[in-house]
């Protein structure tokens, strides 16, 4: 696995050698939209929203690419001392191989590089896969709220810990 972004070494198995993690470019908007639809269905962001995300400087999107296909992505808003992870998605056919962990750790490293002091995110309380991943990577529940009739969690992870992660 080649990585063009700095992130801590991870004990991650099963990730194809050809996988690349890189910062998005404007041309990624279309494949990111496609990935988002495969992962979030009707809740996916629109084409216009993805165009904004890849073009506006406040946003940083990390793209996991296999061959010429975008197979995962993490969208970050970096406003030091805050950072928020607005989206994390892995293609359904490539899940449970450590790709989500890889993108999450790369996001933490990127937020830390931007001198953010914490990384926050929101997730559906029933999204067991994501909540488990976030807890495993050190996120704690900061608040519980309801949005559009859906129970949601606000989760936060402090950055700059002494363990170097
Ligand atoms: C959440 C998501 C990004 C995880 O991606 P992934 O590549 O499968 O994650 P990983 O392989 O790195 O899994 C890491 C850990 O997360 C947890 N996890 C992941 N998928 C899980 C599942 N289906 N059930 C239970 N735990 C799961 C496990 O603890 C797993 O570790 P393990 O495989 O050693 O048990 C992916 O499922 C996804 O894209 N879901 C749809 C989009 C989404 O809900 N995004 C989050 C919105 S906030």
Domain count, the chain: 1
User: 95 CB less than 6 Å from ligand 1?
Assistant: yes
pTM of the predicted model as reported, rounded to 2 decimal places = 0.91
Q: Is the Cα dihedral 110, 106, 64, 16 positive or negative?
A: positive
Looking at the domain assignment, is residue 12 inside a domain?
Answer: yes
CATH number at residue 78: 3.40.630.30
Instruction: Give the phi and the psi of residue 83 in degrees, each rounded to 5.
Output: -145, 145
Residue 60 lies in a domain: yes
Domain of residue 76 covers 2-117
Which residues 6+ apart lie within 8 Å of 19 measured at CB? 1, 2, 64, 65, 66, 71, 99
Q: Give strand ranges (E) for the chain.
A: 2-3, 19-23, 59-66, 69-79, 82-90, 118-124, 140-147, 150-158
Nearest ligand 1 atom to alpha carbon 97: 11
Residue nearest to atom 35 of ligand 1 (CA): 96
In a domain, 64, yes or no: yes
In-domain check, residue 91 = yes
Looking at ligand 1, which atom is closest to the CA of residue 127? 44
Q: Is residue 88 part of a domain?
A: yes
Residue 160 forms part of a structural domain: no
**Between vectors from CA 85 to CA 159 and to CA 43, what angle results, nearest 5°?**
160
Domain membership of residue 134 (yes or no) is no
**3-state SS, residue 126:** coil
pLDDT one digit per residue (tens) for the chain, 165 residues: 444 443 334 445 678 888 999 999 999 999 999 999 999 999 999 999 999 999 999 999 999 999 989 999 999 999 999 999 999 999 999 999 999 999 999 999 999 999 999 999 999 999 999 999 999 999 999 999 999 999 999 999 999 754 445
Q: Is 128 inside a domain boundary?
A: no
Residue-wise pLDDT for 21-68, tens only, equals: 999 999 999 999 999 999 999 999 999 999 999 999 999 999 999 998
Pocket test for ligand 1, best of 37, 92, 93, 100 (most atoms within 8 A of CB): 100
């Amino acid at each position: 696995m080649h990585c063009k972004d700095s992130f801590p070494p991870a004990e991650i198995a099963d990730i194809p050698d050809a996988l690349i993690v890189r910062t998005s470019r404007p041309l990624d908007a279309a494949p990111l939209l496609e990935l988002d639809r495969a992962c979030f269905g009707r809740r996916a962001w629109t084409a216009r929203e993805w165009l904004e995300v890849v073009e506006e400087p406040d946003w940083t999107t990390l793209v996991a690419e296999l061959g010429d296909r975008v197979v995962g992505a993490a969208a970050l808003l970096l406003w030091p001392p805050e950072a928020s992870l607005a989206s994390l998605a892995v293609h359904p056919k490539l899940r449970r191989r450590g790709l989500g962990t890889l993108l999450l750790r790369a996001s933490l490293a990127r937020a830390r590089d931007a001198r953010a002091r914490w990384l926050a995110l929101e997730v559906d309380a029933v999204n067991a896969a994501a909540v488990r991943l976030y807890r495993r990577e050190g996120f704690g529940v900061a608040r519980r709220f309801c949005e559009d009739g859906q129970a949601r969690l606000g989760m936060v992870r402090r950055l700059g810990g002494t363990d170097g992660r």
